[in-house]
């Protein structure tokens, strides 16, 4: 299936690219526009090149002034470069119909087995009902995600805003993950950790889980469709540690409703956070 269904105005910004690559310490740039954009998996191809690059510092550029209609895409590691950056300056829009129980479809943009990833930019991510990011430890696999930073993104109408979701029965870890300066427009739920993810109800016992630790949600502003705006759902046996929220202000999309937070076995602190998160264990 093509990763990229359609795209507007293909050939721009090449001169900028050429000017950029001067010093050796500069990142190697992978602009999705250079990857044969229309309907042939440009994002996946660009990612494959980036991931296998011998440069230390690589950037996937999604340029501004454009909207990209993106089929579900899997940004999978491990990758060779130690510093990976996804610079989202354009608008990413999911296909209009979310799938039902199809896992590959529900997760629109997935990051798997990556270290040292920074996702930022001035663009927007419009999930049209899809979940955005997550999904580790599928089918008893060993998954690691570490040092991942998502900042300055706008999520519009997505199923979930900042979500870390791990499969029950998986193993490995997700740690040192930051979501910072995130604007939410009518997302279903804004902040989610789900350590028991099990869509098909035939998951192994929850004694195994991907460990989640050192996660920071900072500078969130916007609206949640679901009154349960914040949901930190960790395994009773494993739990999540060092989960921190600060400067979070999420209101309900329906003004008369009062948003709230819920947690299971989540350890950490919340500062200046609305709705308050009294369920965090200190």
Judged by CB under 6 A, the chain residues 25 through 44 that form the site for ligand NAG are: none
User: Considering beta carbons, is residue 141 or 151 the nearer one to ligand NAG?
Assistant: 151
Q: Can residue 110 be called a binding residue for ligand NAG (CB under 6 A)?
A: no
Determine the 3-state secondary structure of 178 from DSSP: strand
Decide: is 55 part of the binding site for ligand NAG (CB under 6 A): no
Alpha helices in the chain (DSSP H): 14-20, 42-51, 103-106
> Interface mask (CB under 6 A) for ligand NAG, residues 212-231, using x and -?
-------------xx----x
Q: For residues 137 and 172, is the Cβ–Cβ distance under 8 A?
A: yes
CA gap 209, 78 in Å, rounded? 20
Residue 74's φ and ψ, nearest 5 degrees, are: -115, 110
Instruction: Pick from 152, 213, 244, 265 the residue near ligand NAG by CB under 6 A.
Output: 152
3-state secondary structure at position 45:
helix
Strands 4-7 and 67-70: antiparallel
165 binds ligand NAG (CB under 6 A): no
The span of 14-22, 34-42, 106-114, 120-128 binding ligand NAG (CB under 6 A) equals 120-128
Distance (Å, whole) CA 208 – CA 167: 9
Residue from 7, 50, 63, 66 binding ligand NAG (CB under 6 A): 66
The helix (run of H) or strand (run of E) holding residue 28 is: strand 28-31
Residue selected from 118, 203, 252, 281 as contacting ligand NAG according to rule CB under 6 A: 118
Q: Tell me if residue 56 falls in helix, strand or coil.
A: coil
Residue nearer to ligand NAG on the CB measure, 1 or 101: 101
56 part of the interface to ligand NAG, by CB under 6 A:
no
In the bound state with ligand NAG, the residue whose beta carbon lies nearer, of 39 and 98, is: 98
- Cβ distance 223 to 185 under 8 Å? yes
11 Cβ partners below 8 Å, 6+ apart? 33
Decide if residue 237 touches ligand NAG (CB under 6 A): no
Nearer to ligand NAG, 1 or 167 (CB): 167
Q: Find the binder of ligand NAG among 34, 106, 110, 124 (CB under 6 A).
A: 124
Q: Which residues pair with 13 in a beta bridge?
A: none
Residue 176 has phi, psi (to 5 degrees) of 55, 60
Task: Give me the least distance between CB of 149 and ligand NAG, in Å please.
Answer: 6
Q: How far apart are the first and last CA of the chain?
A: 46
Name which position in 82, 102, 122, 254 contacts ligand NAG (CB under 6 A).
Answer: 122
1/235 with CB nearer ligand NAG: 235
**Nearest residue to the partner ligand NAG, using Cβ:** 147
Distance, CA of 102 to CA of 183 (rounded, Å): 28
Contacts with ligand NAG, residue ranges (CB under 6 A): 65-67, 85, 91, 116, 118, 120-122, 124, 147, 149, 152, 176, 188, 194, 196, 225-226, 231, 233, 249, 251, 264, 274
């Amino acid at each position: 299936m093509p990763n990229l269904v359609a795209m507007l105005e293909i050939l721009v910004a090449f001169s900028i690219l050429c000017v950029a690559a001067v010093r050796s310490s500069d990142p190697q740039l992978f602009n999705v526009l250079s990857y044969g954009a229309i309907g042939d998996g440009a994002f996946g191809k660009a990612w494959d090149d980036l991931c296998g690059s011998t440069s230390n510092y690589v950037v996937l550029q999604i340029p501004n002034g454009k909207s990209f209609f993106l089929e579900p895409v899997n940004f999978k590691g491990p990758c060779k470069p130690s510093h990976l950056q996804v610079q989202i300056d354009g608008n990413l829009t999911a296909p209009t119909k979310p799938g039902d129980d199809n896992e590959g479809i529900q997760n629109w943009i997935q990051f798997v087995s990556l270290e040292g990833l920074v996702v930022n930019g001035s663009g927007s991510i419009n999930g049209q009902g899809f979940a955005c990011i997550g999904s580790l430890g599928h089918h008893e696999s060993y998954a690691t995600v570490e040092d991942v930073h998502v900042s300055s993104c706008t999520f519009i109408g997505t199923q979930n805003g900042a979500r870390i979701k791990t499969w029950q029965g998986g193993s490995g870890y997700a740690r040192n993950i930051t979501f910072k300066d995130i604007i939410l427009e009518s997302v279903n739920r804004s902040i989610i950790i789900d350590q028991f993810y099990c869509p098909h109800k035939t998951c192994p016992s929850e004694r195994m889980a991907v460990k989640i630790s050192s996660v920071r949600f900072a500078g969130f502003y916007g609206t949640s469709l679901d009154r349960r705006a914040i949901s930190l759902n960790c395994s009773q046996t494993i739990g999540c540690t060092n989960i921190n929220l600060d400067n979070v202000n999420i209101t309900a999309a329906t003004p008369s409703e009062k948003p709230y937070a819920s947690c299971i076995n989540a350890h950490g602190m919340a500062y200046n956070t609305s709705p308050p998160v009294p369920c965090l264990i200190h």
